[in-house]
Amino acid sequence: MTSNKKQAPKKLKKFRVDAGYTIYTLADRLGVNFSTVSYWENGVKHPRHTKIIELEDLFNTSYRELFSDLTPEEIEELEKREREMRKQNEKGGI
């Protein structure tokens, strides 16, 4: 039986955005596919131990912090920032 309950986004996404990485640039940096990063950020899958260490080093924080759930306020803030980034990219022709 599968659960339809949506996983809460993880703080990894906030750390990524705060550091200026896109999902694609972080994936390149870690040597994984962008969909893998998306799965991690959405709690669908968890990284292997070697990638956990790379993430902890890259963002200078613990696994527990990276993979704790975002609060509703953090989710709202990130969505707003992502919309603004898309608008800027559209204006810049990117």
What's the CA gap between 75 and 9, in Å, rounded?
Answer: 8
- pLDDT for the residue 18: 93
Quick: pLDDT tens for 47-58: 999 999 999 999
Give the pair of three-digit tokens for residue 52.
């956990």
Strand partners, 69: 10
CA 47 to chain centre: 12
Whether the predicted pLDDT of 1 surpasses 80: no
Tell me the domains of the chain and their CATH numbers.
11-92 (1.10.260.40)
Contacts of residue 63, Cβ cutoff 8 Å, sequence gap at least 6: 52, 55, 56
pTM of the model: 0.82
